[in-house]
Amino acid sequence: MTIHLSIVLFLPLAAGLVGAALGARLVRWVVLAGTVLVLAYALVILVDFDAGSAGLQYVTDDEWISELGIRYELGVDGLNLFMIVLTAVAWVPCTLVACFREHERPRLFFFNVALAETAVLGAFMAQDLALFIVFFDLMLVPFYFLIGGWGQGDRVRATTKFVIYTLAGSLLMLAGAVALGVLSTPDGGQISFSLAELEQRSVSEGTQQWIVLLFALAFFVKAPLFPLHGWVPDTYRSTPIVVLALLSGVLSKVGVYGFLRIVLPVMPEGSQHWQELFIIVAVFSILYGSVLAFSQDNVRLVVAYSSIAQLGFIVLGIFALDDKGAQGAVFQMLNHGLVVVPLFLIIGVIALRANGSESVARLGGMAFRAPVLAALFLLVTFATLAMPGSANFVGELLVLFGAFEDKLVYGLVASVGVVLAGVYMIRVFQRTMHNREGPPVESRDVGGLDLAAIAPLVAVIVALGVYPHFVVERTEAATVQKIEQARAFGGEQEARAPGGQRTSLPPPGDEP
């Protein structure tokens, strides 16, 4: 059968529109059905995907705004295959849980949930820089409404901070993208934003350097990485938990994915120039996120800061500019999403049993009457702290091996983060599930609905732990190709031979 990416891309949006038209009672089921269909389609893609090929598959390539050289170009390769699958997998349980909670204005709520899925899928599928930015910024709209409209606590402040902060980042990226498109246009040529085309064109090294920095600011804010995570605490506190699961599990990957899809292959010299700086930011994020996760009282914020550390690992793997590291990073992008979604769903279940409290100081003893919940939480905890035997361990191993290769010292410092992850994750498990019951805790086991949402995710985590090769063999070809492109250092423009064939030279030594 022929696979059309546009179908899967716009299916959630269509479901959202139809559902909103059908009314407040039906909208949730229509949107849920949409997410299930997307998942089914994503699984078809996964089965059909040709693992050996590094090139794009299922390409859709149409003219869109030809005056500006912007094309409607979608495609799947090893880099985004599992990001698409992750998006499809994550949306189903989160929507399912949302279906059984009461929301004011359900039509708007579920429409935004559906729109968000389309936006995220679009950002992952886009093979045109302008299209990527359109979807990247489109992601902000539904989340703006979801946090602002259905959040808790000081949601206005949180929303403002979130929007302004990430918008500032993405506008910098927009400026960078425009400059990249224009400056890379050869004399008399037609401007283009197609990534494949941009990879062939060249921009001077100095220009690349500041454009990379603009992109990096946007992606680091989105990820988030230290010290650009200022929006995180307020946003995480205020966001409704199912939305937060998507925000933290899936959206955070778009930024780091952008490094692999856009920054490394299009601007290799610029990427290499900042390699050392980005690695330092990554390592600092690992340590800072871990130490802060260790000292947080709010369960959500523990996961928030642990995500900063985990994304630090991913960026470390990418900017190690090594096959192993990048493979680890791509794998970790999937793994982190797969653990964070059930983690937040479980936190949601916990909060329901503790009168809304999410403070570890006041929780405890839940395993007492909720052994199934505790068992699920335990498995997710082990995967989150990347215990050997989990897929997260394989990802982290590859990241660290990649970092050790050329940047041994940074790798060694980062491995401290592995130990700290053990501390803060086990601490959260112990403080919520073990010890005596805290004052607000009313221990009762996970219900059928939450079980239906969480258990399949846990099953996927376990399955990937048993057979991680399933993922890495599919991501390898594309990832290695991107790293090859980034490593091929063209100090002079001429070194970049046409046709993407660049000479393979070792990366420069220690640049500041």
Q: 130-189: which residues touch other proteins (CB under 8 A)?
A: 144, 148, 159-161, 163-165, 167-168, 171-172, 174-175, 178-179, 182-183
CB of 473 to other proteins, least distance (A): 7
Tell me the C-alpha distance between 253 and 79, whole Å.
12
Contact set for other proteins, span 284-303 (CB under 8 A): 288, 291-292, 294-296
Tell me the C-alpha distance between 165 and 251, whole Å.
15
Binds other proteins (CB under 8 A): choice among 220, 393, 410, 489 = 393
Determine, following the binding rule CB under 8 A, whether residue 324 of this chain makes contact with other proteins.
yes
Binding string to other proteins for residues 182 to 221, with x set by CB under 8 A, is what?
xx--------------------------------------
Residue number with CB closer to other proteins (18 or 422): 422
Per rule CB under 8 A, count of chain residues that contact other proteins: 79
Tokens 């040709």 belong to: 50
> Are residues 417 and 308 in contact, defined by beta-carbon separation less than 8 angstroms?
no
CB of 375 to other proteins, least distance (A): 8
Binds other proteins (CB under 8 A): choice among 32, 367, 399, 488 = 367
Residue number with CB closer to other proteins (349 or 391): 391
> Are residues 485 and 198 in contact, defined by beta-carbon separation less than 8 angstroms?
no
Binds other proteins (CB under 8 A): choice among 276, 352, 359, 371 = 371
List Cβ neighbours of 236 (8 Å cut-off, separation of 6 or more): 244, 248, 300, 301, 303, 304
Query: Cα-flanking dihedrals φ and ψ of residue 74, to 5°?
Result: -120, 155
Residue number with CB closer to other proteins (412 or 505): 412
CB of 96 to other proteins, least distance (A): 23
Contact set for other proteins, span 445-474 (CB under 8 A): 467-469, 472-473
Helix, strand, coil percentages for the chain (3-state, nearest 5) = 75, 5, 20
Binds other proteins (CB under 8 A): choice among 397, 451, 460, 462 = 397
Taking Cα atoms as reference points, which of 323, 182, 172, 150 lies closest to residue 247?
A: 150
- Kindly indicate which of the ranges 40-48, 117-125, 251-259, 430-438 contains the residues binding other proteins, using the contact rule CB under 8 A: 430-438
Tell me the C-alpha distance between 90 and 158, whole Å.
24
| Residue 490 burial by Cβ neighbours in a 10 Å radius (0-12, 13-18, 19+) | middle
Binds other proteins (CB under 8 A): choice among 33, 277, 375, 452 = 375
Binds other proteins (CB under 8 A): choice among 219, 401, 410, 489 = 401
Tell me the C-alpha distance between 443 and 432, whole Å.
11
| Residue 469 burial by Cβ neighbours in a 10 Å radius (0-12, 13-18, 19+) | exposed
CB of 45 to other proteins, least distance (A): 21
Element (H, E) at 73: strand 70-76
Taking Cα atoms as reference points, which of 207, 122, 214 lies closest to residue 174?
A: 214
Tokens 């454009």 belong to: 211
CB of 490 to other proteins, least distance (A): 21
Residue number with CB closer to other proteins (449 or 462): 462
Binds other proteins (CB under 8 A): choice among 59, 426, 451, 495 = 426
Contact set for other proteins, span 231-250 (CB under 8 A): 231, 233
| Residue 6 burial by Cβ neighbours in a 10 Å radius (0-12, 13-18, 19+) | middle
How far, in whole angstroms, is CA 178 from its chain's centroid? 24
Determine, following the binding rule CB under 8 A, whether residue 229 of this chain makes contact with other proteins.
yes
Determine, following the binding rule CB under 8 A, whether residue 423 of this chain makes contact with other proteins.
yes
CB of 433 to other proteins, least distance (A): 7
Determine, following the binding rule CB under 8 A, whether residue 362 of this chain makes contact with other proteins.
no
Max intra-chain CA distance, the chain: 74
